[in-house]
Chain A
């Protein structure tokens, strides 16, 4: 008899459901008193080095409806391209925590992230990825959290050389990952879950 591979199986995902905010951002939902403040309110402090940027957008479903119950988390490197936790290359800017929890506005569905533009991080083969923010999105109706990335449309050369963007076979879809610069460090990008202009989601 062959030897067995005794790995455990990852716990199956289940949807975060419509009440994910009770668990992850109770203060924002109007359940004060349990935690002093919600986690992940900002990925940077005022002391963070680098270019200050703001990104806004919406999450839109296949019927064109804006999700007002979407919640996602972001994870990014500092301005020099170092991650604040577990990065084998050394310590990051202490002004950057790197992680944020972002809830769409309960009335408008618009979300906003205030941060610094991340630097370039190496791909496993040593080539540099373009500046990006990793995104993990959950909502009612999403059975397994969706992984995507926010890139920046004013980083044309870096985007052109990015080994991850380079793996997107349908080149016109790369644009779905590009936050569009509106001037003054303001960017805009929507996540489209399905259909026309559907955001590229990753299995990484």
Chain B
């Protein structure tokens, strides 16, 4: 356990994130708070946070192709990799990244998913890993299929993977989704469009990364994740009593 004071969190840019109330995504209409958030700077309750150790990670935890039954899942094999950084551009080491996704046909292993596409008996749909010393992570998985969902009559989710990320403080906790370069459904998706700025949407689109692809094996996509920054260096340099 470290006992380093890492300093207050940077304020969140709420215009960059999706608004809470987004009628194009209908479920948000009854689940969005109407009252303004109570805003104040971070406290120890947000600046401290859970840490996770190597001991809890199993050998196949970041291999969604093999981690369910030990037999390979069906679909286009991909590596999803990137770095977890903070807003200062520093890699965040030792943090937990969890992912979940539909299978190659676009079907989730969930009793509430009634899409026609078949369940893959060898695909569970989740994985996890810890970032390395430079904040890097990677998963081996299958590229998830697009699928229809009940919102407007003919809404389809683009291919996507859900990512849940911890930082060095509870106030950095983040869940997001990555999309895949070139998918025509991205621009049509009401959940993507909860984000108001095109530049913010663009950073959720993982580019094809042929440098990391493995010949005759799998393609790769690169997705960097940025967590809230901290006024760390200020505190490191601060003299006693200042």
Known pairs A31-B125, A121-B43, A202-B39. 10 more at Cβ < 8 A? A6-B89, A7-B229, A8-B226, A10-B228, A15-B25, A20-B100, A61-B31, A86-B169, A145-B173, A203-B39
Check: B211 CB closer than 8 A to any chain A CB: no
Check: A52 CB closer than 8 A to any chain B CB: no
Check: A9 CB closer than 8 A to any chain B CB: yes
Q: A61-B31, A142-B28, A193-B31 are in contact. Are A31 and B50 (CB under 8 A)?
A: no
Interface contact A12-B17, CB-CB below 8 Å:
yes
* Residues of chain A with a CB closer than 8 A to B162's CB: 14, 16-17, 19-20, 23
Tell me the complex Cα distance, A98–B100, Å: 25
A contacts with B: majority SS: loop
Interface size bracket, B side: 35 or more
Tell me the complex Cα distance, A121–B170, Å: 15
Could you say which of A109-117, A130-138, A152-160, A178-186 contacts chain B? Answer: A130-138
Of B4, B41, B125, chain A has the most CB atoms within 10 Å of the CB of B125
Chain B 109-144 interface mask (CB, 8 Å, partner A; 1/0): 111110000000000111110000000000000000
Check: A105 CB closer than 8 A to any chain B CB: no
Interface contact B173-A9, CB-CB below 8 Å:
no
Of A139, A140, A149, chain B has the most CB atoms within 10 Å of the CB of A140
Chain B 29-44 interface mask (CB, 8 Å, partner A; 1/0): 1111111011111111
Interface contact A7-B88, CB-CB below 8 Å:
yes
Tell me the complex Cα distance, A6–B124, Å: 40
Residues of B at the A interface (CB closer than 8 Å) are 1-6, 8-14, 16-20, 22, 25, 27-35, 37-52, 56, 58, 61, 67-69, 85-89, 96, 98-100, 108-113, 124-128, 162, 164, 168-171, 173-177, 191-192, 194-195, 200-201, 203-204, 224-229
Q: A10-B87, A23-B99, A91-B3 are in contact. Are A167 and B19 (CB under 8 A)?
A: no
Chain A 1-37 interface mask (CB, 8 Å, partner B; 1/0): 0000011111111111111111110100111011110
